[in-house]
Structure 1
Amino acid sequence: MAEFTLYIGNKCFSSWSLRPWLAMRHLEIPFEEGFVRLRTPETFANLAKVSPTGQVPVLNHNGKIVWETLAILEYLADLFPERNLWPADIDARALARSAASEMHSGFREVRYGWPMNLRRPKGHKPLDAEGEAQRARIEVLWRECREKYGRGGPFLFGHFTAADAMYAPVVTRFDTYGGTLAPDTRAYVDAVLATPAMRHWYAEAAKERWPEPGPDE
C-alpha cells in the first residue's frame, strides 16, 4: 500500500479534487489515487467509507485522514518543506495564503455560473453582475500576485505554489467560458494548463466513460 492515497471524484468536473491532486503530481509527491464516482445512487455510501464529511478530496497518509483542500495542502507543506508549496518570503506567503483562502470561501457566482466541465466546448458565457464583479476580482488578485512576486516564473508567485493549485479549477473555467481574455490573464491560464500534471488530468478526464456532465451542462 502506498504511503499516500488521495481520494478524488470525476476528473471532468470535480474541481475540489483537482487542487491537491495537481499539487502532489506537479511537485512529484508519490501517491495512489482512490476514486469515488460522483452523481450515482451509490455515491453517498461510497464516500462515507473514505471521508468523514462525505466529500472529496480526502488524503489518507498511512491511515491518518486529512480532509478539506486547504488542510491537505497545509499538511503537505509541513511534510515537504523543500517543495516550497508556500513562498519562502513571509509577505509573499501571507498574500498567497490570503488569496488561497479567498478562493476557498468565495467567488460563488463564478463557480456556479461557470461550472467546471472539461467536456464543454469553449465559448464565451456571460456572468450576471455579481459573477462579473467576482471574475474581475480574480483577475485583479492574479495581477497583484504576479506583479509583486511572480517575476521569477509563470505562476502567481513565480514557482508553483498552493495558491496556483487552489485557482487551477478557475483557470479551466476562464479557458472554457471566458472568451477572449486579457493578455496577462491568458498568459497565466496558459501557464497552468501547460503543466504536465494539468495535461495529464485533462487526458484522464477525456477517458472517463460516464455521461455526466454533458457537454452543454
Structure 2
Amino acid sequence: MAEATLTISSRNYSSWSLRGWLLCRMAGLDLSVTILSGSDAATRAELLHLSPSFLVPRLEHGAITVWDVLAIAEYLNEIRPEAGLLPEAPAERARCRAVSGEMHGGFINLRSALPMNLRSLHRGFKIFNGAKGDIERICAIFEDCLSRSGGPYLFGARPTLADAMYAPVCTRFRTYDVALPFTAATYRDTILAWDLMNEWAALAESEPEEIEELDMEF
C-alpha cells in the first residue's frame, strides 16, 4: 500500500493536478493517484476556471490532508527537506517562493486564453494582447532566474517548486505554438524533456475523454 494518495482531476487539462503530482514525485513520496470523474461538478468547475477555491490536487499522507499546490509544497518541504523543493540560500528561497506565488495567483489572461491541453497542437495560434502581457512577464521571470542560477532549471541544477509551478505553462507554449526568446525557449524544451513530464504526458495520452464539452466551453 502506498504511503500517500494524491487526488487529481484530469492529466490532460488540469495544470494544478500536474503541479501537485510533480511536487510529490520530486519529494520521493510512494504515491497512489485517484482521478475524479469528469462528470464531477467540482472537477468541471476547476477545469473551466469557474471555481474560486480548488480542492484538487489533494494530498493525503497518514493522518494529514492538505490541498492547494503551495500548501502541498510547503508540507512536502517540511517532511522531505532533502528533496530540495526550495533552494538552500535564503535569498534564493525567498525568490523561489515569490515567483511561485506569482504563478499561483496571477496570469489569468494566459490561463483563460491558452488552457492546458496536452493532446492538442495549434500551429499559428492567434494570441491576443491580454495574454501577450502575461507571456512577456513569464519570459522575464525565466530570463532573470536563469541568469542568476545558470540553469538548466530556474534555480540551478535540480528542479524546485518554481519549475513545478511553471511546467504547465511550458506545455501551453508548445500547444499554442508561442514564439519565445531564446532563453525562454531553451527552458521550455528543458522542462518538456524532463522525465517526469514525459511520464505525465504518456499517462495523459491514454486518459479517457470524459469531458466532452471542455474545448468549446473555454
Q: What is the CA-CA distance between 1:130 and the residue it aligns to?
A: 2.1
Could you tell me which residue of structure 1 aligns to residue 78 of structure 2? Answer: 78
Could you tell me which residue of structure 2 aligns to residue 184 of structure 1? Answer: 183
1:114-164 superposed Cα distances (whole Å, 9 cap, x missing partner): 000112124232332221111100000111111112x1x411011200010
Q: Which amino acid counterpart does residue 144 of structure 1 have in structure 2?
A: D
Contact 1:36 1:43 in 2 (8 A): no
Could you tell me which residue of structure 2 aligns to residue 50 of structure 1? Answer: none
Contact 1:19 1:168 in 2 (8 A): yes
TM-score for both structures, normalised by structure 1: 0.88
Partner Cα separation in structure 2 for residue 207 and residue 184 of structure 1? 32
Partner Cα separation in structure 2 for residue 127 and residue 119 of structure 1? 19
Contact 1:171 1:192 in 2 (8 A): yes
Trace 1:131-142 onto structure 2 (pairs within 5 A): 131-142=131-142
% same residue: 38
SS in 1 for 2:196: helix
Partner Cα separation in structure 1 for residue 63 and residue 97 of structure 2? 27
SS in 2 for 1:203: helix
Partner Cα separation in structure 2 for residue 160 and residue 206 of structure 1? 24
Partner Cα separation in structure 2 for residue 89 and residue 110 of structure 1? 31
Could you tell me which residue of structure 1 aligns to residue 171 of structure 2? Answer: 172
Q: Which amino acid counterpart does residue 90 of structure 1 have in structure 2?
A: P
Check 1:44–1:182 CA distance in 2 against 1; reply closer, same or farther (3 A cut).
closer
Partner Cα separation in structure 2 for residue 184 and residue 35 of structure 1? 35
Contact 2:54 2:68 in 1 (8 A): no
Q: What is the CA-CA distance between 1:198 and the residue it aligns to?
A: 0.5
Contact 1:139 1:185 in 2 (8 A): yes
Partner Cα separation in structure 2 for residue 123 and residue 64 of structure 1? 44
Can you give the 5+ residue segments of structure 2 that lack an aligned partner in the other structure?
46-52
Contact 1:117 1:213 in 2 (8 A): no
Contact 2:27 2:80 in 1 (8 A): no
> Alignment partner for residue 155 of structure 1, among 142, 153, 163?
153
How many residue pairs match? The answer is 207
Could you tell me which residue of structure 2 aligns to residue 60 of structure 1? Answer: 60
Q: Which amino acid counterpart does residue 204 of structure 1 have in structure 2?
A: L
Q: What is the CA-CA distance between 1:195 and the residue it aligns to?
A: 1.1
Partner Cα separation in structure 2 for residue 216 and residue 112 of structure 1? 12
Could you tell me which residue of structure 2 aligns to residue 113 of structure 1? Answer: 113
CA RMSD of aligned residues (A): 2.1
Contact 1:85 1:160 in 2 (8 A): yes
Check 1:195–1:136 CA distance in 2 against 1; reply closer, same or farther (3 A cut).
same
Check 1:166–1:54 CA distance in 2 against 1; reply closer, same or farther (3 A cut).
closer
Can you give the 5+ residue segments of structure 1 that lack an aligned partner in the other structure?
48-52
Partner Cα separation in structure 2 for residue 126 and residue 156 of structure 1? 28
Partner Cα separation in structure 1 for residue 211 and residue 121 of structure 2? 15
Check 1:126–1:195 CA distance in 2 against 1; reply closer, same or farther (3 A cut).
same
SS in 2 for 1:201: helix
Q: Which amino acid counterpart does residue 37 of structure 1 have in structure 2?
A: S
